Amino acid sequence: MEEDRGAALATERYGSAESWKYFGKHGLMDRRRDGGESESRGKSIVGVFKSVFLPQGYPESVSNDYLQYQFWDTMQAFSSSLSGTLATQASLKGVGVGNQEATVAAATITWLLRDGTGMLGRILFAWRKGSKLDSEAKKWRLFADVLNDFAMFMEILAPYFPACFTLIVCTAGIFKSIVGVAGGATRAALTVHQARRDNMADISAKDGSQETLVNLAGLLVSFLLIPLVTDNPILTLSLFFLFTILHLFANYKAVRSVVMETFNEARLSIVLQQYLTDRRILSPLEANHREPVFFEFRKQVPIKLGVRLQEVVQSPDELSLALKNNNRPFLLGIRNGCVCVCLGPEASVHDEIRAFCQAVWLSSMLREQQSHWEVVHESHKLMDEIFNPFLKGVEAAGWDLKRTLLDWDEWRVEWKTKSN
């Protein structure tokens, strides 16, 4: 068959989606797709769907976990859309829609108070927790969705407590504003992870298209739900809890499917502790599966990164102790049961990783005994022995060492190693 077409002159590919060949015969050039034209026509609808809703160059242009994450993200968006319909109906009923005694002014004031408190909540949350959203994107992503469900539950219950209606919807508005900040910021952090060709804008735009399609589907289903749940609080709550369970499960699966190759505090701590136990380096997949996605409330020894010098040493003698056996651009100390790390301005990414590894080891020692500078000196000796093999191992295992997501504060200190 191929001989009838003539000699093959060239081939071309469109990523992994299409492959074409050029044939020359009788002075003409013919272009045909591998697999035949009938296959091309059969896949045209699928091709259009991919071009509309998936980033250009998919799957090569995105991370390997992209499709699994987007599937679960779509499921959670659909269930959240339906829950939001139930909450919106309850809010409208609470402000007086359908009640002839309700006034437009009262409803408007309630709505403005809700929006105003939400704006203040958004500013305060971004101020207090904005720097944490990059390093703990999975935890804050899941936290945002749990908080969103709780806020919608409050909105559904609000009409049954008319005396406290304004207070309840304002509190729910604050929660939803926090959800907006945390959800949007962590979505951006995950987009950075998914983009493999500097195509963050394309991925973000296609994610918006996917979400719009899901919300449209949720809107159509909502048209069927509204007549059923109107004036039926038992059915409303039953459906809300059903959608909430689906929403939380899909969110959990979504964040669990993400495999980040960049170290944050949790992933680096997990990899280091495994290496100290049996000298085995965990792959990004293994470490991500062990990474906690819920906030932990058990007592841990805190680690502070990028602190001021006075949080590490408080006298010239202590500075000399901090510099003993240490020729690195960082200082470690133990203050009030907390491991503190002071960073120099010339510190590299590898220095940041080493400093945090020492801090993790020190925090594990503090659980056993109250130690001071002797243990700090031991940590320098330990890292001198194991850090270079550890660094080569994590790089070979597929970890990205060009940058980190460690939560460093901005203090940088220069110190004199010798007195003049």
For the chain, the domains span 2-42, 66-257, 265-396
Confidence of residue 94 (pLDDT cuts 50, 70, 90): low
Burial class (CB in 10 A: 0-12, 13-18, 19+), 191: middle
Lowest mean pLDDT among 3-12, 97-106, 335-344: 97-106
Confidence of residue 280 (pLDDT cuts 50, 70, 90): very high
Q: Taking Cα atoms as reference points, which of 155, 185, 170 lies closest to residue 118?
A: 170
Confidence of residue 419 (pLDDT cuts 50, 70, 90): very low
Sorted by sequence, the CB contacts under 8 Å of residue 341 that are 6+ apart come out as 303, 304, 305, 306, 307, 312, 330, 331, 332, 355, 356, 358, 359
DSSP for 50-83 reads HHHHS-TTTTTTB-TTHHHHHHHHHHHHHHHHHH
* C-alpha to C-alpha distance for 1 and 192, rounded to whole angstroms: 47
Confidence of residue 13 (pLDDT cuts 50, 70, 90): confident
Tens of pLDDT, residues 32-70: 877 654 444 445 687 788 889 999 988 899 999 999 999
Q: Taking Cα atoms as reference points, which of 79, 206, 102, 201 lies closest to residue 152?
A: 79
* C-alpha to C-alpha distance for 168 and 161, rounded to whole angstroms: 9
**Secondary structure of residue 208 in the 3-state scheme:** helix
* C-alpha to C-alpha distance for 314 and 172, rounded to whole angstroms: 45
What does the DSSP 8-state code read for residue 338?
E
Tens of pLDDT, residues 141-182: 999 999 999 999 998 888 888 888 889 989 999 999 999 999
The predicted pLDDT at position 298 comes to: 64
Which CATH code is given to the segment(s) 66-257?
1.20.1250
Tens of pLDDT, residues 82-91: 999 888 887 7
Confidence of residue 258 (pLDDT cuts 50, 70, 90): very high
Residue 42: its H or E element: helix 37-42
The predicted pLDDT at position 98 comes to: 47
With a cut of 60, say whether residue 209 has pLDDT above it: yes
Tokens of 338: 């907390």
Tens of pLDDT, residues 344-389: 999 999 999 999 999 999 998 876 555 688 899 999 999 999 999 9
Indicate the average pLDDT of the chain: 87
Task: Name the pTM for this structure.
Answer: 0.86
Q: What is the β-pairing status of strands 303-305 and 28-33?
A: unpaired
Average pLDDT estimate for 255-269: 96
Query: Are 104 and 159 contacting, i.e. CB atoms less than 8 angstroms apart?
Result: no
Task: Tell me the percentage of the chain whose pLDDT exceeds 90.
Answer: 61
CA-to-CA dists, residue 150 to 133, 153, 189, 231, 239, angstroms: 20, 5, 24, 22, 15
The predicted pLDDT at position 153 comes to: 93
The predicted pLDDT at position 4 comes to: 61
The predicted pLDDT at position 39 comes to: 45
Tens of pLDDT, residues 292-314: 999 887 667 889 999 999 999 99
Average pLDDT estimate for 401-415: 94
Cα 19-25-27 angle, rounded to 5 deg: 115
The CA radius of gyration of the chain, in Å to the nearest whole number, is 28
